[in-house]
Amino acid sequence: DIDLTLYKPTRSISGTIRDASTLAGIGGVQIEGECETADGNYEATVLAGKDGSFTLPALPGKWEIEVSGLHEKGYVAKGEAFSPVEVNGGNIENLDAYFPPYTALIHGTVKGPGGSPVTGDEIVQGQAFINGTFYNTHVSADSNGKYCMGVLAGTWNIGIDGENLKYQCILGLASPEPVNITVQNGDTILHDITLVRSGSIQGRVLDDTLNPIEGVIVSAYLGKCWDSFVTSAETDEEGHYTIGEISAGTYYLWAHIENIDTCPAYRDTWYEHEPPTLCNEASGVNVMPGHTTGNIDFNLEPAGGISGKVTNRSGTPITGIAIQVMSDFNTNTCEGKLLGSANTDGNGNYRICNIPVGDDYIVRTYAENIAPGYIDQVFDGKNISVCDEATTVTVSKGAVTPNINFSLMVRYEGDFDQDGDVDGQDLADEATSNGSEVPIFKFALNFGKSQE
């Protein structure tokens, strides 16, 4: 049984779907909205009227809106018709979207490895960047494998949407390498697509005590460091996962836990025999047609995070300050092994996740590129910058250690001892360090300035 819960809308999002050339309404297309909140995911779907107008029922939150059915009406779909819509105090009105009519055709037959036709809804995908706009359109292959895609003049990347193949249980087949086709207005171009036999990857995700971890996302990419996402799978209660129906080739796998509310309890990693692995150190996993590459296992380290706020001495938040978490810290050089970093947001806040569980970490600011310039600090709870007085920070599994805060001093020119003022001691410090006389005019601009 499948249970559905319906909610009475308290807001609405309205607008019109229009022809980009004539501004006339496009009727009969489908508008779909989705909103993810802490309470759950909400979806709403309506059809545009004859004049292209629509009113989508909504609840407060951020809505992602898509338009489907454009191809049947003679139009080309964009990659993102609407920016995310924030619904709060009132209804959203006059949210219009504009789509161009297609001016050329790409058509052909979708076949299996033996030449038999392949049928599927919206399995053929075309993508193009034209005049700064990303277009992403899908069409179906009929019972004879025939498809016909309306496009604009430009270079189109034509291939098969592997996710749609899986959703429709078209198993054992995968997309061949997509092909770039350059189209002029008025062209009708024949392009047949022959699917290839698929392979798969299987493995297991365990924790540091060799217990299975459920709910880990294992994503496959064609390149290292999140280059060219292909597909993903989620581990079951025994930690097993299968990435199926992919074409032969080499893939790079990334295991991670998605959690927008707090830091995940395990550290993400790229596939390699010795975790954790950085993205540029990932090892490729080879997949052969009709075969399963097995035992691609992960062992995830327990992890947590830290959070805090950075202000100046007046309490004003500072944006763009880099915060670094380090282990193996050297108090003489103020350096260590970097475990993670983040920049402060518009309110001076930051959060760093994916830090291994431990109790001897040092947190420091790195403000070198921020104007007007600030004196860097290590966290010690006293807002000074002496490295050997740093306070170690503890990170616990699945938790965020809060209040790792900093109050930074402006770096005045001539403040050699970095104590927040420019005084006679600074003159003495430079003279001592250089072993030579110091011209007093060098300090005239800032001499006597202090933040105390």
193 and 248 housed in the same domain: no
Write the CATH number for 67.
Answer: 2.60.40.10
In a domain, 413, yes or no: no
- Cβ atoms of 230 and 211 closer than 8 Å: no
Q: Which of 246, 267, 299 is the last residue of a domain?
A: 299
Give the Cα separation of 378 and 391 in Å (integer).
8
pLDDT score of 153: 97
Q: Which of 161, 182, 197 is the last residue of a domain?
A: 197
| Upstream peptide bond of 276 is cis (omega within 30 degrees of 0) | yes
In a domain, 433, yes or no: yes
Domain count, the chain: 5
Strand 358-366 to 322-330 pairing: antiparallel
Give the Cα separation of 314 and 408 in Å (integer).
9
Please report which residue ranges of 37-179 form alpha helices under DSSP H. Answer: 162-167
129 and 180 housed in the same domain: yes
Q: What is the pLDDT of residues 364-395, one digit of tens each?
A: 998 765 655 787 888 987 766 677 788 899 99
72 and 149 housed in the same domain: no
158 and 227 housed in the same domain: no
Q: Which of 36, 70, 99 is the last residue of a domain?
A: 99
In a domain, 93, yes or no: yes
88 and 16 housed in the same domain: yes
400 and 315 housed in the same domain: yes
Please tell me what DSSP assigns to residue 119.
Answer: -
Give the Cα separation of 304 and 340 in Å (integer).
11
List phi, psi (to 5°) of 311.
Answer: -130, 170
Q: Which of 152, 175, 154 is nearest to 163 (CA)?
A: 175
373 and 341 housed in the same domain: yes
204 and 188 housed in the same domain: no
In a domain, 289, yes or no: yes
In a domain, 398, yes or no: yes
pLDDT score of 233: 95
pLDDT score of 380: 84
In a domain, 414, yes or no: no
207 and 175 housed in the same domain: no
In a domain, 26, yes or no: yes
Local structure of 79: helix, strand or coil: coil
The Cα-based distances of 177 to 50, 201, 253, 277 in angstroms read: 40, 19, 19, 28
365 and 392 housed in the same domain: yes
186 and 135 housed in the same domain: yes
Q: Which of 296, 336, 303, 342 is nearest to 322 (CA)?
A: 342
Strand 303-312 to 400-401 pairing: parallel
In a domain, 417, yes or no: no
Q: What is the pLDDT of residues 153-178, one digit of tens each?
A: 999 999 999 888 887 888 888 888 89
Length of the chain: 452
Q: Residue 428 is inside which H or E element, if any?
A: helix 424-434
291 and 309 housed in the same domain: no
Q: Which residues of the chain register pLDDT less than 50? A: none
Q: How distant is the alpha carbon of residue 422 from its chain centre?
A: 44
Domain holding 285, by residue range, is: 199-299
